[in-house]
Structure 1
Amino acid sequence: MQLDLSHLTRPPFSLDAEALSWVAQTFSELTIEERVGQLFNLRSAGEAALPRDLVSQIAPGAITRFFGPDGDYERAHIADLQAASKVPLLVSADLEGSRMSLPFGTQVPNPIALAAIDDTEVTAEVSAVLAQEARAVGVNWSFTPVLDINATPRSAIVATRGSGSDPDRIERHMLTQLRSFQANGIAATAKHWPGEGHDDRDQHLVTTINPLSLEDWEATHGRLYRAAIDAGVMAVMSAHIAFPAWTEAQGLEGLDRYYPASLCRTLNMDLLRGRLGFNGLIVSDASEMAGLTAYIEAQPGKVELIRAGCDMILFSTDPLGDYNAVLAAVNAGYIDQNRLTDAVTRVLGLKAALGLHKRAALPEMPALRQDAMAPILRRAPVLEKDVANLLPISPKTHKRVLVVAPGIFEPLWNKTLPVAFPDLLAAEGFDVTLHETGTPADPAGFDLLIYAFTEETLLLRGRIFLDWGKLFGGLAGAMKRPWHSVPTVMVSFGYPYYLYDAPRVPTYINAWATMDEMQTAVVDLLLGRGNWNRNSPVDAFAGAPDARY
């Protein structure tokens, strides 16, 4: 069979003759077993996450690295994996900023904080810093930008990962990040196809639904994906999100209308590739998520992802078993050779488009840019309301401060991390008392009460709300509101809609990200060292109009 690689000469691959020849030769030299290995993107974390014998058996096309704090180790570890790979690896990461920044790199704001600043020059600068540091450690592919629209205030998964609720603002910052990443040697990925943010559930836990009509989808999500495709985005992540308006229009009925896009050929091949004209690589969202496994068992699900048009399978908790299942499906003809060839050549095409086949040395790690980030971070927090004109504060006027700060939940490692905010206030001369979570709060004797909530909307938070009972020890503590007797500030370093549960709180700040550097920025602003942003990328009062007062 003559190998047709004409699709790789077109955007976003745009391969020249030399790169095209490498793809053709590499593909012809790969065995069926090795071709199947190219379909897998395996999770890598810690020092022994991918045993060498497993890597040699599967020869995966990619790994996604979850980084530790030692940048030198990470760089050497990835270089070691690359040296052992017959075909260079795609090395992917979620470069989203805040706590999804590189732990050894410059700590940068997340997408919603950049949208709050709403300065594309800042977004370009921050994206370049993140991309350059990631490239230096060996990353060549990012699962960003996030194109989701924060249309449902109760959506726990979108709120801080995207760029807000306005498609215009989302588009300009999404395109800026996309171009900055790809200009710095990092393939960008538009996610989460076909568009998240209208369902208040989390696709890690359940298949979510995009409920828009085709007309409304075209004016919003469709518009954003078309813009990303026109800008040359190299990959799209097909997520566990149903889009019944499209599937119904294609004649699907019953439950089939609600199949997640990752498993739905008509969403990937007819809508994304056909109608929108996307020619790049389609990667599934994490294939162990309940948004997929609620419909099909994880192992046969890997087979169906490829059949549905995904070119690469993201993650596996049973890599060898899943690899063997896909290989068996190929050998049995259940995954036909045309589908296999198309998927593998797109994987190889992305590698060639990034120049990985040249095996060039990595750039040196650039100097950290944390000093440059400090003034940028101070531009992000939004003062949503201050009806009592409390701000600014100082130790002279509000010496004794009670801080309610229940901790930062880190879902990737299942840990609760401490909040820096109380110590930062103490360093400024305040007498700070940290409230013990689960006990009643008594504001008597204090000059100021500050709630510092730190639930950044990353993963596994099916609902985010103020659990007053959990905070304050049951019914009696849950029903008390202190702001009539003591000046009160509520700061959210994450989820931006707590006013829904506390509409009467007199002073409310959205600071978007839990990173220590953002907490420092808020302390600076509370003390009057800078001007508050008033340009919110979301409507913090959605669902609670009285919260404005």
Structure 2
Amino acid sequence: MVDLKANPFNLNDEQIKWVEDTYNSMSLDEKIGQLFVLLKAIPGVNEELIKGTLDQFHQGGLRWQGGDKETVYLQNTTYQKNSKVPLFVAANCDDGGIGAVPEGTFVATAAECGAGEGTENAYNLGYVSGKEASAIGCNWMFNPVVDVYKNWRNTIVNTRSFGSEADKVIDNARAYIKGVKAANPNMACTAKHFPGDGVEELDQHLVMGVNNLSVDEWEESFGKVYRTLIDEGLEAIMVGHIALPEMSRKLVPGIEDKDIKPATLSKELLTDLLREDMNFNGLVITDASHMVGMSATSKRCDAVPGAIIAGCDMFLFANDIAEDMAYVRKAYEDGLLTEERLEEAVRRILGMKAHLNLTDESVIIPDKKELDNIGCEAHRECAKKAADECITLVKDTYKNLPVNPDEKKRVFLVYVGSTPTTKGYTGDPVKKVVIEELENAGFEVDVCPSYYDLEVENGVSPMNFVKMLNHEPRQAFIDTHDFALVVINVKGYAQENEVRVRWSCNHSCELPWYNEEVPTIGMSLNYTNHLIDVPQLHTFINAYAPKREHIRAAIEKMTGKSEFKGTADETVFCGRWDTRL
């Protein structure tokens, strides 16, 4: 059974008694309910509805969807006040408190922290995330991401990984955890996505991931990361819908390819490797269960209980709550989910709740005054610090920098955003910020048209496409522009496996035909791998975030008012020689 006196629980006798008494008082349905972290997707707060849901399903944890800080605080505390057993309330703060509520602080991406010297920015990222998530009643951080970024084509973890080297990931993940614990000692941290993303380019929202490293390669990278953090008392691990076939073949000699499952459903990876070999005693939770990475490999009636049987203690989200819980109950009644495995999972859940002191009402219901910490000036200073210390000059082979606006004032701005996905598109607000910050720096900005914006401004017309094909005489362009700036703010999520630069139409005047006519600078406000699509740009900056602080800091560095301090990861060159020219 679970050793609740050992790491990471470290419970005393009184806490263990609470676990035992609580467990022994539970019905089978209450035990099954503890296995689920459910999503609150309905906006607003209806106490009767919340109470009814808790009485019916007895869920162990909560994630919410939408709402400002006041609403989310009320919602989370209402759940706690009406729950028989204190709830885990989870937050997903990859970039700061903005992951908890819209008023939260964007501090930095993991890639940004990895580009900076030392780990102070990762610590600040964890601290602000912990402080702001705690203010709305969270006690479980679904971070840090500890994926090792091995494949530049992978965009699902591009900005979410601290880097391509295991030691850098370890150092920054450790700092993030320390930051969270400094903000709130009663908040659990979670390393994800075991057994490790970043090796291939596929997104587990769309397909089962496959980490194809050999056993030795995995041990030297992902294995090193997880073993180190486990030895240091890691509390929780989120398991990705990612297979690790070479490890499965080692642990289960003769296993057929058709039987190789994502880690969420793999007993050899969760029980044999993670629990027994790696000696992880903490809480294991699946990644979101609606991902195709899980549903494409098993029927849901098998996958829901199958994850618990394989070694997960908790199941993230439900399709139909009653149906999913019934699947677990049937597996228990049929003997597939043993009494021992169910008891182990529930005791581990209760043990973590005791470890976090969730039995103390002052812990699970924070003082509402803590909401003032969200988005406060001190936290915004952390964002400014990260931008100053991490923004990276990837290359400047033609010595185009610095650009003095007193001498080279006229800039041709090409802004490339993500393809609009709604008829409600009225323009990209980040584009407006870029223009404002360039003008504030003293530049005269000539904005290249975008087909999407022309359709909004002029209405749907074939003439918009014609305008996008327009290229003025080269000499006239040279005479009226001192340099060109290509700003790329492209990002995608759970819609395609790779996200690349997509110009707003074919043969567009946005394309870098101007690259050899005037000095041209590229700047990414998101992904770090855009040189694959614009290798001909001889100057390139990774600014990491589409936030005003980052845009302003990047322009200050571009103009020589501030030095570039970030260091580029080798992956930015995408394994090609021409991206370095």
Q: Same fold by TM-score, threshold 0.5 exceeded?
A: yes
Identify the residue that residue 171 of structure 1 maps to in structure 2.
170
8 Å CA contact 2:244–2:263 kept in 1: the answer is yes
Identify the residue that residue 485 of structure 2 maps to in structure 1.
450
Identify the residue that residue 85 of structure 2 maps to in structure 1.
87
Identify the residue that residue 296 of structure 1 maps to in structure 2.
298
Identify the residue that residue 418 of structure 1 maps to in structure 2.
429
Whole-angstrom distance in 2 between the partners of 1:126 and 1:225? 20
Among 95, 109, 112, which residue is 1:97 paired with?
A: 95
Is the alpha carbon distance of 1:58 and 1:528 closer, same or farther for their aligned partners in structure 2, counting shifts above 3 Å?
A: same
SS in 1 for 2:389: coil
Aligned length: 539
CA offset at residue 428 of structure 1?
A: 3.0
Matches within 5 A, 1:426-437: 426-437=439-450
Matches within 5 A, 1:57-456: 57-68=56-67, 70-97=68-95, 100=99, 102-183=101-182, 184=184, 185-249=186-250, 250-256=252-258, 258-360=260-362, 361-363=365-367, 364-365=370-371, 367=373, 368=376, 369=378, 370-407=380-417, 418-419=429-430, 420-438=433-451, 439-440=468-469, 442=471, 444=477, 445-456=480-491
Whole-angstrom distance in 2 between the partners of 1:442 and 1:299? 59
Whole-angstrom distance in 2 between the partners of 1:327 and 1:308? 16
Give CA-to-partner distance per residue, 1:496-539, whole Å, 9 cap, x none: 11112221102101122233332232122223231112412343
CA offset at residue 269 of structure 1?
A: 0.3
8 Å CA contact 1:159–1:457 kept in 2: the answer is no
8 Å CA contact 1:382–1:536 kept in 2: the answer is yes
CA offset at residue 459 of structure 1?
A: 4.2
Among 8, 33, 37, which residue is 1:37 paired with?
A: 33
SS in 1 for 2:571: coil
8 Å CA contact 1:152–1:197 kept in 2: the answer is yes
**RMSD of aligned Cα (Å):** 2.4
Identify the residue that residue 8 of structure 1 maps to in structure 2.
4
Whole-angstrom distance in 1 between the partners of 2:290 and 2:142? 17
1:535 is the counterpart of 2:535: no
CA offset at residue 434 of structure 1?
A: 3.6
Whole-angstrom distance in 2 between the partners of 1:124 and 1:173? 8
Whole-angstrom distance in 2 between the partners of 1:376 and 1:251? 48
| Worse-matched range after superposition: 317-326 or 476-485 | 476-485
1:17 is the counterpart of 2:49: no
Is the alpha carbon distance of 1:67 and 1:108 closer, same or farther for their aligned partners in structure 2, counting shifts above 3 Å?
A: farther
Is the alpha carbon distance of 1:326 and 1:441 closer, same or farther for their aligned partners in structure 2, counting shifts above 3 Å?
A: farther
Identify the residue that residue 506 of structure 1 maps to in structure 2.
538
SS in 2 for 1:282: strand
The letter of the residue matching 1:214 is V
The letter of the residue matching 1:36 is I
Give CA-to-partner distance per residue, 1:282-312, whole Å, 9 cap, x none: 1001111011111123343212111111111
Is the alpha carbon distance of 1:55 and 1:527 closer, same or farther for their aligned partners in structure 2, counting shifts above 3 Å?
A: farther
SS in 2 for 1:518: helix
Whole-angstrom distance in 2 between the partners of 1:482 and 1:45? 48
8 Å CA contact 2:469–2:507 kept in 1: the answer is no
Unaligned 5+ runs, structure 2? 452-467
Whole-angstrom distance in 2 between the partners of 1:10 and 1:328? 33
Whole-angstrom distance in 1 between the partners of 2:116 and 2:66? 28
8 Å CA contact 1:66–1:93 kept in 2: the answer is no
Is the alpha carbon distance of 1:193 and 1:429 closer, same or farther for their aligned partners in structure 2, counting shifts above 3 Å?
A: same
The letter of the residue matching 2:366 is L
SS in 2 for 1:176: helix
Whole-angstrom distance in 2 between the partners of 1:427 and 1:514? 17
Give the TM-score taking structure 1 as reference length.
0.92
Whole-angstrom distance in 1 between the partners of 2:322 and 2:440? 52
Give CA-to-partner distance per residue, 1:240-295, whole Å, 9 cap, x none: 11111111111253234531000101100000001100000110011110111111
CA offset at residue 366 of structure 1?
A: 5.4
Q: Percent identity?
A: 31
Give CA-to-partner distance per residue, 1:376-435, whole Å, 9 cap, x none: 321111001112222222433343333222435799xx9895313223223334333443
8 Å CA contact 2:69–2:371 kept in 1: the answer is no
8 Å CA contact 1:161–1:457 kept in 2: the answer is no
Give the TM-score taking structure 2 as reference length.
0.87
Is the alpha carbon distance of 1:398 and 1:127 closer, same or farther for their aligned partners in structure 2, counting shifts above 3 Å?
A: same
Whole-angstrom distance in 2 between the partners of 1:409 and 1:399? 30
CA offset at residue 113 of structure 1?
A: 0.8
8 Å CA contact 1:247–1:257 kept in 2: the answer is no
Give CA-to-partner distance per residue, 1:360-385, whole Å, 9 cap, x none: 24152454121343133211110011
Whole-angstrom distance in 1 between the partners of 2:402 and 2:470? 24
The letter of the residue matching 2:549 is E
CA offset at residue 186 of structure 1?
A: 1.8
The letter of the residue matching 2:32 is V
SS in 2 for 1:173: helix
